[in-house]
Amino acid sequence: MEQPRGTKQKKSCQKNVFIILGFLFILAIITIITVAIIQNKPLEKNVKYGIVLDAGSSHTNLYIYEWPAEKENDTGVVKQVDMCKVDGPGISSYYKEPEKAGLSLKKCMDEAKGVVPENRQRETPLYLGATAGMRLLSMVNPGLSDQVLSSVENNLELYPFDYQGARIITGQEEGAYGWITINYLLGKFVQDESWLSFFPGLKGSETFGALDLGGASTQITFVPENDIESPDNSLHFRLYGRSYNVYTHSFLCYGKDQALQQLFASNIKPTDTILQDPCFNVGYTRNVNVTGLYKNHCTAAYRKSLNVTNVQVIGTGNHDQCLQNVLEIFNRSQCTYSRCSFNGVFQPHLQGDFGAFSAFFFVMDFLKLADIKNPKSLEDAKETVRKFCSRPWQEVKVEFPKTKEKYLSEYCFSGTYILSLLEVGYGFNSTSWDSIRFVGKISGSDAGWTLGYMLNLTNMIPAELPPSRPLSHEGYVALMVVSSLVLVAVLLIIWLSCCKEKCLEKGII
């Protein structure tokens, strides 16, 4: 039977209403999803860079770091992307021709221009920190150390980076920034330990102490259990919502090169042109120009008038004798505190684990004593150094033809010095020895003071924990979408059930 014309019109009208409603419904969902995604899309990946030059006593290294801009205040996000070794000696060695100090940095600075994208260079901070070599030069001749720094400054300013200055950092800073670096890289600042307060007996994950051995100074830094008796050795940090009382000391003249200078200065006889030295392998000889030996601040205590200008050092490879000589440079006789390391310097009881880096690592790595998977006892380490010292120089040279002669010839001394510094100087024993990890890199970044220095100067370590977002971006979008769908579905159901009766009444359905 044919339907009346009015009924047909109503049905087509009803169909159109549903099509429009369906269309609007889909449009609403698409709009909600799109708005949620666009509105909350994380900012485009914005990488920031920072450059630090470590002007050490023996050489200069340039480090380039990068990090995602939007995660600046998170911990563990800064990564070392490049390291460039400057050719030649440390900047303090250019005191006779200071203009060459700045020029020496050119190769690495040019390399940095190639690593940091051009559009980021203007905003990339560039720092230079000089350590113990320049500290010594500034003590002996401040005018010359200023000239060296100006030469460096003039050259660094030529580059398109955001130059932030070149300065001599203090031994305290060197220790502190080394400690910050390794604990940042080890992720020691991240733990949210609020739950630990419910268990007063339990301690949170402790920070690592830092042991840094350079050529002219050495630093020890750690969080002790007891009070720090001397204010000079005490630092207070508030990092990511936690407070740290840190002990630090930098021993100027106790880096391994200056320690060796001290030995030479103390053992050379005024009229002898030969020095039989037990800290070098048998068969090794070296000529040492001794005219300037006693001008150095580190050797002043051994000053004597010499009748010779050159001394030939002849290795005798006697570890026991070498150890005896080395121990003489640690003065353990006077201490005005409850306890001391050496030279009357206060040191609290050693506490926790330690990361030992820079020359500690280079030397122990060479002697195969730095393998974390195969840790060696203090006794094993002593035996290894003793054996190395007793080997003839010719044999050593043949076995390690690629190793720089300067380093190779000094591994007997350096190994003996490191063990003495750690055991007799700082007081590590057979038990606490196991708490020392000799580390070169941590998560791809070199262990050293430079990263901590940059983190501090760029204000990248907040004192308080940044308020954490309850949801990740993805979680937030998913929640938004699901809630919107539920909302639309509920509205639709309500509308349909309300509308059904009216529509029935009006004969729309």
> What's the min distance (Å) between Cβ of 239 and Ca ion?
23
User: Closer CB to ligand IDP, residue 90 or residue 278?
Assistant: 90
Among candidate residues 340, 355, 480, 328, the one with its CA nearest the CA of residue 416: 328
Please list, residue by residue across 171-184, b when 16 or more beta carbons sit within 10 angstroms of its beta carbon and e when fewer do: bbbbbbbbbbbbbb
Cβ proximity to Ca ion, 50 vs 214, nearer residue: 214
Has 216 been labeled as part of a binding site?
Answer: yes
Q: Is 215 annotated as a binding residue?
A: yes
Q: How far is the CB of 67 from ligand IDP (least distance, A)?
A: 24
Q: Which stretch binds Ca ion (CB under 5 A): 192-200, 210-218, 230-238, 272-280?
A: 210-218
- The residues with which 63 forms a beta bridge, in sequence order, are 52, 83
As measured in angstroms, the least distance from the Cβ of 484 to ligand IDP is 59
Return residues touching ligand IDP (CB under 6 A). Answer: 56-59, 90, 131-133, 214-217, 255-257, 358-359, 362-363, 407
Which of 49, 51, 55, 56: binder of Ca ion (CB under 5 A)? 56
Using Cβ positions, the residue closest to Ca ion within the complex turns out to be 214
Nearer to ligand IDP by C-beta: 89 or 204?
89
Whether 129 contacts 53, CB under 8 Å:
yes
Q: Supply 500's token pair.
A: 């059904």
255 makes contact with Ca ion (CB under 5 A): no
* Identified catalytic residue from 174, 193, 206, 423: 174
Q: What's the closest the beta carbon of residue 457 comes to ligand IDP, in angstroms?
A: 19
Which among 76-84, 213-221, 278-286, 345-353 is the span making contact with Ca ion, rule CB under 5 A?
Answer: 213-221
Active-site annotation holds for 328: no
Residue whose C-beta lies closest to ligand IDP: 214
235 SS3 class: strand
The whole-angstrom separation of Cα 479 and Cα 193 is 29
- Which is nearer to ligand IDP, 123 or 405 (by Cβ)? 405
Strand-strand pairing, 354-358 and 441-442? unpaired
Length of the chain equals 509
Q: How far is the CB of 54 from ligand IDP (least distance, A)?
A: 7
138 is in an annotated binding site: no
Nearest by Cα to 108 from 68, 166, 55: 55
Using CB under 5 A, which of 175, 214, 317, 355 touches Ca ion?
214
User: How far are the Cα atoms of 278, 352, 355, 437 from residue 434, in angstroms, in the given order?
Assistant: 28, 10, 11, 8
The sign one gets for the Cα dihedral 134, 136, 138, 140 is: negative
CA–CA dist 310, 396 (Å, integer): 26
Residue type present at position 392: P
In terms of CB distance, is 57 or 318 closer to ligand IDP?
A: 57
In terms of C-beta distances under 8 Å and separation of at least 24 residues, what long-range contacts does 267-273 make, across chains too?
A: 267/325, 268/293, 268/306, 268/311, 270/304, 270/305, 270/306, 270/307, 270/308, 271/307, 271/308, 272/308, 272/311, 273/308, 273/310, 273/311, 273/312
The residue behind tokens 């080394």 is 178
When CB distances are held under 5 to 8 angstroms depending on the partner's kind, the choice from Ca ion, ligand IDP, none that residue 302 binds is none
Cβ distance to Ca ion smaller for residue 214 or 278 = 214
Instruction: From 211-219, 274-282, 365-373, 385-393, give the range in contact with Ca ion by CB under 5 A.
Output: 211-219
Q: How far is the CB of 345 from ligand IDP (least distance, A)?
A: 17
Instruction: Name the binder of 215 from Ca ion, ligand IDP, none, CB < 5-8 A by kind.
Output: ligand IDP
Q: In the numeric block, which tokens belong to residue 76?
A: 């563990």
* Catalytically active residues, by annotation: 174
Known binding-site residues equal 215-219
Sites of contact with Ca ion (CB under 5 A): 56, 214
Known binding-site residues for ATP equal 215-219
